[in-house]
Chain A
Amino acid sequence: MTAVSRPPQAAMRSEVVQPRVYDGNLDVAWLTVLGLAASMAFADMFWVVSLRQVAGAIERTSDPFTDWVRESTLLLPTYVAAVLCVRVVRRRRTPSAAAGGTSRVGTALVLVGAGTLVGVLALAASSLYDYRLELALLGHTAHGSCVADCLDSQRTSTALLQLKSLGLGSALVLATNLVVVGWVAALLGGRLRLDRAGDPPRGHRRIGVHHRDGLTAVVVSALVGAAVLHAAVVPEHASEWLVAGAFFVALACVQAGAAGAVVHHGGRVSWTAAALVSAVPLAVWLWSRTVGLPWGPEAGAAEPLGVADLAAATLELATLVLVGSWARHRRHRLAGRPLLTVDTTLIALVALLAVTALGLGGSGLGWLDLTSGTGHVPG
């Protein structure tokens, strides 16, 4: 068992033995977790991309292999988070290492379910995006011979096509994940152990991760993720308006700096700064997407939502929530209970990585761009 850093003796509080609650440890069988996640990610995205060849908007069908590699890679953290969630659920329900065959099958099925959920959500998001693009194209192709009822009928037909694709894709994803998880289990000799070693001995007092370390890691990750996303959109914004480009450069630097401050100082000032560098851009973003900013090339016009900005906003919101939790925890000095268990920290970190990855996919950055295709959308 990997030991975590122990807090100073004076800071340790008497442990409350909670035999039915597992606090978590760092014994994640990462090879198994990553293997399962990667297998399901690449297998599921194969169907997503293949179905796009059938029902997808034409802008998104030009480089299916590249799309498959890109989307599988960007979604990998999400699959990892899903597998880790299954690990936590499993451990809480069956902490005993002597889990029988039924439990293994159950674990496998839950893994299939979790992976399928991610795959279906990805497929649904892709279908929705295709539908939006196709609606934009619909009016062009009819040359005026299809209006009113005809146009409505074609919109309906297009929607039905996407729903059909979603239904078939969901079934394919489910069936594939059953095969994939089963195959991985066989490859592991019939054991789907998501933990590297056995459970700690009965009655062993668990050593929880110091609440500050887990929380710090998550907040820093959120800030760094937001900074990365803001840096990623600099080229696109700078090409439209240099001032906007400079703004995002500054924002990325400030958020990265705040993350550094939280790591190195960890005091009230740095946490307050973390909250500020999240709250202000979040407010500006809300303003730009609702009323519209009063400056810039499109002054006064509400900007459309995008994947990158939604992801950044999510990360900033997460930062605010975590800072608030930190403040509340600090004020009330809740004893003996880590704010974030190791498992929660792990899942949170992976989830934030997933959000960052998805945001990068919507940032318009070359190879990472999830919306890339022929590069031309009819105006």
Chain B
Amino acid sequence: MSPEEPPAAAQVSRRLFLRTGAVGTAGLLGVSAHAAWSPLLAQRGLLSPDGVFSAVGTALADAVFYTEHFPISPLILHPFEDQLPVPRALAPVALSDVRGWSLPPGPGLGEQSSLRNERHQKWPSQVGYPDPIVYQIELLVRPHSWTTSKVLPIDDEGRPTESFDREGRVFAPGTERTLPPSTIYGFNGTFPGPMINAEYGRPVLVRFVNRLDENPYALDRQDFGAPDWSFLTHLHNGHTAPESDGNPHYAMTSGPRSMGYLPGTWVDNLYLNWPAGGDEREKQSFFWFHDHRMDHTGSNVYKGMVGLYPIYDPTNAMDMGDERRGLRLPGVRTDRADGAFDVAYHIPLALHDLSLDDGVTLHHDIHDTQGDFPGTGNPAEHPEWWGTTFFKHFPNHGFVGDVFGVNGVAYPALEVKRRKYRFRFLDASVARIYELALMSSTQGPRSAASLGYVDDELQGQYRIPDGQRCMRFTQIASDGGLLPFPLVRDSFELWPAKRREVVVDFTRYLDGSPTTKGDVVYLTNVMKMPDGRMWESSSRSSPDAAYKVPILKFVIGDTAPDDSQVPPVLRPLPPLPPRWKDLMPNRLIFEVKRGALGGETEWLINGEPFEPDSVARSLKNPAGRRPLAEQRMGSFNLWEIRNGGGGWVHPFHLHMEEHRTVMRNGRDVTTTPQRGHPDDVSREDLASLDPNGSVVVYRGFRDFVGPYVAHCHNLAHEDHSMMFGWSITP
């Protein structure tokens, strides 16, 4: 042993120490990581070997790679003072006026649009219905105000900050401001657009006229919306022929043969108001119409192209808005002389979130390279747009706003009578999912900033820290119309484009005690979703007891007569074939995934982007085949939609008919739904895909032939290629 070497005993001790330390450190790190990260990974569906990689990739993406910065909207100082707009039904065009049009609607060739190159596949007479009621809706550039309240500009720590105006002036921090109106592209210039109260058996034809090239108020169009001002209106989810469906698979190959109808053109969308297969059980109850222009659906919808289309069923007076007849669901109908009708105590609630420019957030995303809005100079900050709606495509995160609105107003209030109401909920957001509950609060709303919240926690602007559930919803309908039986729920999730109809009884609370005039109940969002990826907390997954964001304030008013009831049976479901599982080996399979492209994220299905002039091909099914997404008219089939992972959720929508979810995550849900998805027992047109989830849906392909689409209804995903074409063949 040399003089330099330590004694043998010391060497052994040092080696032992190092070895023990190495083993112990590794063990400790492993245990700590498992304890710290497993719950979070499980919540996001990433607790798996593949999920770990997705989680790490997502973290790196957020931290380093993708520049998707949301502004902090100015704080609305006096929420719940603006009244909730309750739309009146749009009046149809008088028949005499329609006959006076130079190009009136009709069944002949060249009578479907101003392009004179298409015809309606089925005219109402072919299904034994009368000629359609005609409406005209114009796409207009108009200003819109989200609130009348003063606002306080704040930063991401909730502190007062400076603000700007169109003339370039700078306002000191702490200055209360009035929001400038935002520019919208609206149906008839409003947001939301018109509401058409329709009825089965009475077809409707809507002539959509594009006048977006006109800007009579010289409004700044900013940097979103279709650059060519085109539109393509889709009635979600009408049983409609392709030429009236408003889908890009049709529009790019027929009709306009472009992404949308350009300014100066019009199109007649014919809605037969006829159930699929003529089956009474396929009747639905709440459609909405929105833009579907390829690559700019999200920006056009966000910019205002939203309209409402409740549809009633007069057969046996089942559900015709008269609570004295049929199912006697809440509603008092008033027929008007102009041919429309209104239904009191029937209130559509179109939820939407928006983001208002703070003047200092960089406007930057991949679309800047496409030269959509060269005059804006993007990427750039736009202080002149302070206080107006902010939008970027943000294909990685999906777009969410930090201000919540209902029917075009931020944080509105509604006085309700002491009786039952029927609310038709619609999620008109680009990507946000809501979970809604009815809560009371003695202290009332407090701003998230005053409660010390910062960054993403400021979203929603207000909290009711002492909020308590005080009433329940009785759900009577989902996307596919009336349920077979009502469901009593403490809360319900509302995914983008989904509809839920509920009855709320404002006469008494959960505990049975009666309400009194002046009482306040808040429609409250309890799902925290800081970006469009998925929720961070909800009732079914890591609930955050502090996250109670009031969206709409109900003020209890006087007692009113109520002849309504909620019957125990509503509308029976069309039966599933007893041997539906025989279709499983030959089902079509589609997997939704993300990939990096062009410096940003693209969303693909079966590894392919949307190809408007072709149909998709299934992944290999158990029978070893990869069939094309083509179905014969009159057929039924099973389609499987898989979430390819990565920690995103996807609301997946299929056009033209409703479906039944028969399997979820590999389990039969035809009789017993899985937790979190009670609506799987009903008919829907939008499948809610949890992280790594999958569904198998059974649906028909009836009555029409031609091209349709299926896509994610997170519109940021749809616009970045998460869509595929399919078709019905003769």
Within 8 A of B (CB), among A42-58: 46, 49-58
Is B93 located at the chain interface by the 8 A CB criterion? no
Q: A53-B56, A58-B595, A157-B369 are known contacts. Are A168 and B64 too (CB-CB below 8 A)?
A: yes
A14–B8 CA distance with the chains assembled, in angstroms: 41
Contacts of A54 in B (CB 8 A): 57-58, 60-61, 65, 596
Q: A50-B56, A53-B58, A145-B295 are known contacts. Are A154 and B369 too (CB-CB below 8 A)?
A: yes
Query: How many residues of chain A get a CB closer than 8 Å to chain B's CBs?
Result: 55
Tell whether, in the assembled complex, residue B60 and residue A50 are in contact, meaning their CB atoms are under 8 Å apart: yes
Tell me whether chain B's interface is mostly helix, strand or loop, or mixed. mixed
Determine, out of A60-68, A216-224, A235-243, A323-331, the stretch whose residues face the partner at the interface.
A60-68
Tell whether, in the assembled complex, residue A65 and residue B50 are in contact, meaning their CB atoms are under 8 Å apart: yes
Contacts of A154 in B (CB 8 A): 366, 369, 597-599
Select one of B64, B599, B612 contacting A143, CB under 8 A: B612
B722 to chain A, nearest CB (A): 11
Within 8 A of B (CB), among A121-173: 130, 134, 137-138, 140-143, 145-146, 149-150, 153-154, 156-158, 160-161, 164-165, 168
A188–B609 CA distance with the chains assembled, in angstroms: 51
B49 to chain A, nearest CB (A): 4
Is B370 located at the chain interface by the 8 A CB criterion? yes
Is B397 located at the chain interface by the 8 A CB criterion? no
A366 to chain B, nearest CB (A): 14
Tell whether, in the assembled complex, residue B602 and residue A58 are in contact, meaning their CB atoms are under 8 Å apart: yes
Is A189 located at the chain interface by the 8 A CB criterion? yes
Tell me whether chain A's interface is mostly helix, strand or loop, or mixed. helix
Select one of B5, B593, B720 contacting A61, CB under 8 A: B593
A158–B609 CA distance with the chains assembled, in angstroms: 16
Tell whether, in the assembled complex, residue B596 and residue A56 are in contact, meaning their CB atoms are under 8 Å apart: yes
- Of the four ranges (under 10, 10 to 19, 20 to 34, 35 or more), the interface on chain B belongs to 35 or more
Select one of A158, A186, A374 contacting B598, CB under 8 A: A158
| Chain B minimum-CB-distance residue to A100 | B4
Tell whether, in the assembled complex, residue B18 and residue A377 are in contact, meaning their CB atoms are under 8 Å apart: no
Contacts of A98 in B (CB 8 A): 2, 4-5
| Chain B minimum-CB-distance residue to A55 | B596
Is A265 located at the chain interface by the 8 A CB criterion? no
Tell whether, in the assembled complex, residue A141 and residue B598 are in contact, meaning their CB atoms are under 8 Å apart: yes
A320 to chain B, nearest CB (A): 41
Select one of A46, A153, A191, A377 contacting B369, CB under 8 A: A153
Select one of A50, A137, A190, A376 contacting B57, CB under 8 A: A50
Select one of B18, B57, B594, B611 contacting A58, CB under 8 A: B594
Is B371 located at the chain interface by the 8 A CB criterion? yes
| Chain A minimum-CB-distance residue to B49 | A65
A190–B15 CA distance with the chains assembled, in angstroms: 6
A150–B596 CA distance with the chains assembled, in angstroms: 17
Contacts of B58 in A (CB 8 A): 53-54
| 28 examples of A-B residue contacts, CB within 8 angstroms | A51-B60, A54-B58, A54-B596, A56-B595, A58-B593, A58-B604, A61-B593, A61-B595, A65-B48, A134-B596, A137-B595, A140-B611, A141-B597, A141-B610, A143-B259, A145-B259, A150-B370, A154-B599, A158-B599, A160-B599, A161-B65, A161-B596, A183-B22, A186-B21, A189-B14, A373-B607, A374-B593, A376-B607
Query: Which 4 pairs between the two chains have the least Cβ-Cβ distance?
Result: A58-B595, A53-B57, A157-B599, A189-B15
Known: A65-B50, A190-B18, A374-B619. 13 other contacts (CB 8 A): A50-B53, A54-B57, A58-B594, A58-B602, A65-B52, A98-B5, A140-B609, A141-B610, A145-B370, A149-B371, A165-B65, A187-B18, A376-B607
